[in-house]
Structure 1
Amino acid sequence: MAANNSDEELRLLYDVVRSLPPMPLNDLLSRKLCPQCILRLFGKYGPIYAHYSRISAIFSEVVGHQPSCDDPSNEGLAVEDDICSVCYGILQFIHAEKQALVNKGCANDFAALICELARQEGHQADCFSLEVSVPPIIMEKENAVRLCMKEKYSSEDWFQEILQSEAISVKDVVKLSITKLLEKQLGVKSDSSSFRVRLTYTSTERPMKNANGRENNHAGKKRKTGFGNTVGGNRCESTVTETDLKQSPESLQENISCRQLERKISPCYLEILCSRTPIYIGGRYLKYSRNVSQSRWIIDDERMGEASVEEILGNGVLPLCRGDNYKFHAAGREDIDVRMLGSGRPFLLEIQNPRMLPSELSIKEMEMKINSLESKLLKVKNLKVVDDQGWTLMREGEADKQKQYAAIVWISRPLEDKDLVTISSLRDMKVLQSTPVRVLHRRSPLEREKTIHWMKVEKIIGSTQYFLLHLCTQAGTYIKEFVHGDLGRTHPSLGSILGCRAEILQLDVTDVKMD
């Protein structure tokens, strides 16, 4: 079946080439346009471009013209004169590298080059997407060809048909040429995918300036691109218009005339980048040490605390995914001297450009490995790969959900029974908090209204001024400041409610509710 399809596509290619008007075809060949550019500028679409190795041979057979870069006697090397005057060698799979020309010879070899790079970097792909970027000068040259062809052949009957067609962009032709080959060599299908192959072509030749002295660089504007058409459409971009031609001084008119296509062309430089969009690994962490910060904390080149949650989790998970780097995101934060207990705090690790997609089993093994660390500083639970919606849900939880705390509190007078009644009777109390003094150096001075949902007191046997305070608050509430008042910057505070000084000796987060 595959052979039959290939034969049919080759017959289609023969028919397409034979259908082209001979005079402009030879004209374009003489101006050093490659066969691929000729086909696409005539609006020929379809699987024909997948047969790169046969296109030049068919042109030679049908037209009697053989570009030297496809001559077997040329040993796969191109000379400067053979580089296409419009696509700058892109559709001939020629590119410049360290001041030398590199000709991979055919689409199959070019696809093999891409696949080898992906394998060297260790990428694991279940499908892939192909992205292509080309320099603006190519669109400018395309429009120069159209203007020349319109000037010479606009009175011909066939030209009116071309006016109604749309040229195929260089980007699309590259994809049509190598996508099937990449599918075969990578062993996966092309689809919208997190794994991306990006080909970025750049040229040292700058776009020409128009009558206003500005570069004709409108690569972002979509324009219709049949011969003689310069606006509208949606496949290819153009930069030099007939208006530019008429308004340009004589010297510039010469630059954008057909004679420009006869100049020697330097091929584009090519950068091949294989990458994957970030993956997110989420779960909950419990922090047992009062000397571990949530994120890496360095002041004047000195580490604060013995470690950080961010580094312990990131350094554990990153090698599993073979990513370039990671970012740590958590649903809120606790101070370095505050433990995170109970059900744990939700977090996400954003792994950038991961080469491997971890399996469920490998994730569980990583969870066990982190939890078995000798330091016993923290543990993780419910570790798993989540989609990018997990980030949105976690940020919503950080701002809107509830958190429960347990604090050992000291007050400046003995605790009385009426104090227990007063504290436990408060429900959904609104508190206005200015940015605490202790974080003013790194936070904007704002006022925030937060809610204390409930509180209860647990007496400590043998003490009249120390007690255990349990409270549930809106996420983002500054608990220490709610207790001592922060020089009146939090009101009301526990101290103002009890009419005495109040301080926190130890604080733990006991629950972070996200649902």
Structure 2
Amino acid sequence: MSSLTEKDKPIVQLLLSTGTCPRCILRFCCVGTQTLYRHPYKDLMKDLKEFLKNNEEKEDTVCFGVVDPPCKRTRLEHTEERPDDLNHNGALQQIPSINDENTAMETSAVKVCNVCLGILQEFCEADFVKKVCQKVNSADYQFTSFVFSVSLPPQLSVREHAAWLLVKQEMRKLDLSLAKDDIVQLKEAYKWIIHPQLSEELSVPKKGAALFEVSVVFAHPETEEECHFLATACPDCFKPAKNKQSVFTRMAVIKALEKIKEEDFLKHFPCPPSSPKNLCVTLEIQCNNGAVFVAGRYNKYSRNLPQTPWIIDGERKLESSVEELISEHLMAEFKADSFNFSSSGREDVDVRTLGNGRPFAIELVNPRRIHFTAEEMKGLQQTINNSSDKIQVRDLQLVTREAIGRMKEGEEEKTKTYSALIWTDKAIQKEDIAFLDDIKELKLDQKTPLRVLHRRPLAIRCRIIHTMKSEYIDEHHFRLQLKTQAGTYIKEFVHGDFGRTKPNIGSLLNRTADILELDVESVDVDWPPSL
């Protein structure tokens, strides 16, 4: 167990007299032993009281165990220049010396801490831990480890700054200094106390990289305006940001405190900080599970089904989509809050996807259920396939976030195979289209198609038709098999898009050509693994 020494006594005495709790006192004394903070609050109070009563052994440890590691506080080589003890226009209040330690202890024991606002008091107790665990258990998440996070009111940084200035003044009298960074952070101390209790109550280990997060959001309405003076003193630190309810974020307040001069701070904020009437309140106890990723391949058999919901100006144009037909079942089984769908390219609403299908991945956000066996995934795949004749999925499996990157690798280099039913205005014979079979590595210049110009930037893209194979049907129809570079606009290659794609089937045949049907026969991406 770490220790307090005689040189800490003035700081302990000072902070107790101004309404600071025992755990915050340990923080300001740079005590870094985690287990010490976990001692019951009453025991810590008692130990501090015993420590203050000891006036005999000047440098020895009392009540707190072995001698500290070398203290981060350093003795000043030269006395710092410091403001004279001034009035309310810019100086620390003079704190009278304390002769009655019992009075100090009793005063501190009944008050809400003037630094942590009760965070290291009430909210470290077993009752609060049980309240958090009840919330977690009622949310019905699957998890094998957890990480704990806490969100503190920004004004706590202001109060801690004021307490630090107070301690600094006391330490100057001893020719010592205390860097603000040497103080044990409130969040850190709170986690030292709360983490083991949560771990025991939930019966799972805590891990820094755990996917399941338990977070507590604290607020203190009574003091929420205490940091507002910083906006006047340091306006550059408080700039409105999108999606932020208040400019007084923790980081903005910390930045302002680093910038403001000591005398300016003392003109606006009492030092020591006053004792509040009320404890902090818990705004939220939140649970969040890391995302789970599911991958597979889908076939689309309908020519009236978009890949993603087709909604224009708030009006749904078609009743469903590939994304929805797959995700609704995953959402139900994984009990997720939301999802994000991605795929290796996309087909138009009137285009079928055949063959082995198109690779896709779905990110399930904040899922309650995360553990699925291979058999359960197979059953889920069957459920999806039984629900609709418009789509089918295969190779459905759990994957990692990193693995999804393989789906997007080589986006420009991968190839796709298509089958197009083509119409021509002038009659054709089999010999008229036979030359198409001999064309290899045909280079196209494709301007952004008119049909997608509203959502894609205007550009000329070079694409390659690797091979073509024609199949004569009648005088005005033939089928064309194409193997192309990914990203090639096949419809525009057929009809030319008013000359925006060059060359095109129409120009090659010297006829007007149009496409009647298009199927994706293969998407040549070796992912996800076949099952």
TM-score (norm 1): 0.81
Which whole-Å deviations, capped at 9, do the CAs of 1:279-300 have from their partners, x for residues lacking one?
A: 2111000011111111111345
Contact kept, 8 Å, 1:218 with 1:238, in 2: the verdict is no
1:391–1:68 Cα change, 3 Å: farther
Q: Are 2:102 and 1:114 aligned?
A: no
Distance 1:210-1:439 versus aligned 2 partners, 3 A rule: closer
Give the match for residue 91 of structure 1: 120
Q: 1:417 to 1:48 in 2, by over 3 A?
A: same
Between 1:19-28 and 1:484-493, the stretch displaced more is 19-28
Say whether residues 1:456 and 2:443 are aligned partners. Answer: no
Aligned pair 1:175/2:164, yes or no? no
- Secondary structure of the corresponding residue to residue 376 of structure 1: coil
Tell me the CA shift for residue 261 of structure 1. 3.4
Question: What do the CA deviations read for 1:58-95 (whole angstroms, capped 9, x no partner)?
Answer: 3355445655796xxxxxxxxxx71111111111135x
- CA deviation map 1:414-459 (0-9, x unaligned): 4345444421122221111112222233333322221111111123
Matched residue SS, 1:143: helix
Change in Cα spacing, 1:45 to 1:292, as seen in structure 2 (3 Å) is same
Amino acid at match of 1:464: E
Q: Is 1:213 equivalent to 2:213 in the alignment?
A: no
- TM-aligned CA distance change 1:325 to 1:288, over 3 Å: same
Q: Partner residue of 1:134?
A: 152
Match of 2:378 among 357, 364, 367: 364
| Partners of 2:17 and 2:105 within 8 A in 1 | no
| C-alpha distance in structure 1 between counterparts of 2:346 and 2:197, whole Å | 49
Name the stretch that deviates more: 197-206 or 336-345: 197-206
Give the superposition deviation at 1:111: 2.3
Cα distance in 2 for residues equivalent to 1:92 and 1:147: 23
Paired with 2:180 and 2:166, the residues of 1 have a C-alpha distance of 17
Paired AA for residue 306 in structure 2? S
Structure-to-structure mapping, 1:326-475, within 5 angstroms: 326-360=339-373, 361-373=375-387, 375-460=388-473, 463-475=474-486
Distance of aligned partners of 1:381 and 1:241 in 2 relative to their CA distance in 1, 3 Å threshold:
closer
Distance 1:43 1:319, change over 3 A: same
RMSD: 2.8
1:288 correspondence with 2:297:
no
Specify the alignment match of 2:262 in structure 1: 245
2:44 pairs, out of 55, 59, 71, with 55
Letter in 2 for 1:205: E
Q: Which runs of 5+ in 1 are unaligned?
A: 1-11, 71-80, 95-105, 223-236
- The change in CA–CA distance for 1:69 and 1:437 in structure 2 (over 3 A counts) is same
Q: 2:211 aligns with which of 194, 198, 204?
A: 194
Residue type at the aligned position of 2:225: E
Which AA in structure 1 matches 2:30?
G
Structure 1 contact 42–165 (Cα < 8 Å) conserved: no
Native 8 Å contact 1:282 1:347 kept in 2: yes
Q: Distance in 1 between matches of 2:311 and 2:164?
A: 61
Is the aligned partner of 1:153 residue 2:171?
yes
Q: Does the C-alpha gap of structure 1 residues 270 and 29 become closer, same or farther in structure 2, counting only changes over 3 Å?
A: farther
Structure 2: distance between partners of 1:195 and 1:133: 17
Q: Between Structure 1 and Structure 2, how many residues are aligned? A: 458
- Structure 2's unaligned 5+ residue stretches are 53-101, 238-247, 527-531
CA gap of 1:134–1:312, structure 2 versus 1, over 3 A, is: same
- Which residue is 1:509 aligned to? 520
State the one-letter code of the partner of 1:201: F
Counterparts of 1:33 and 1:242, CA distance in 2: 26
- Secondary structure at 2:146's aligned position in 1? strand
CA 1:293–1:377 in 2, change beyond 3 Å: closer, same or farther?
Answer: same
Q: What's the offset of the Cα at 1:57?
A: 4.2
Q: Does the 8 Å contact 2:215/2:287 carry over to 1?
A: yes
1:499 to 510, 517, 521: 510
Q: 1:495, CA displacement in angstroms? A: 1.0
State the partner residue of 2:490: 479
> What is the alpha-carbon distance in structure 1 between the residues aligned to residue 151 and residue 159 of structure 2?
16
Q: Is 380-389 or 437-446 further displaced after alignment?
A: 437-446
1:210·1:244 contact (CA, 8 Å) conserved in 2? no
CA contact (8 A) 2:163 2:273 kept: no
Distance apart, 1:168 and its partner CA? 0.6
Inter-partner Cα distance in structure 1 for 2:277 and 2:318:
64
Write the distance in 2 (CA, Å) between the matches of 1:179 and 1:430: 62
Distance in 1, matches of 2:260 and 2:340, equals: 50
Report the equivalent of 1:21.
8
Alignment partners' CA distance in 2, 1:69 and 1:319: 52
The one-letter code sitting in structure 2 at the alignment partner of 1:38 is I
> TM-score, normalization: structure 2?
0.79
Counterpart CA distance in 2 for 1:29 and 1:299 is 65
Paired with 1:19 and 1:239, the residues of 2 have a C-alpha distance of 35
Residues 1:262 and 1:305: Cα distance change in structure 2 (over 3 Å)? closer
The 3-state SS of whatever aligns with 2:302 is coil
Whether the aligned pair in 1 keeps the contact of 2:229 and 2:268 (CA below 8 Å) is no
Q: 1:500 to 1:220 in 2, by over 3 A?
A: same
Identical positions, percent: 34
Cα contact 1:85–1:265 (8 A) shared by 2: no
1:151 to 1:124, Cα distance in 2 relative to 1, 3 A: same
Partner residue in 1 for 2:94: none
What SS does structure 1 have at the residue aligned with 2:468? strand
Aligned equivalents of 2:409 and 2:19: distance in 1? 59
CA distance in 2, matches of 1:87, 1:238: 19
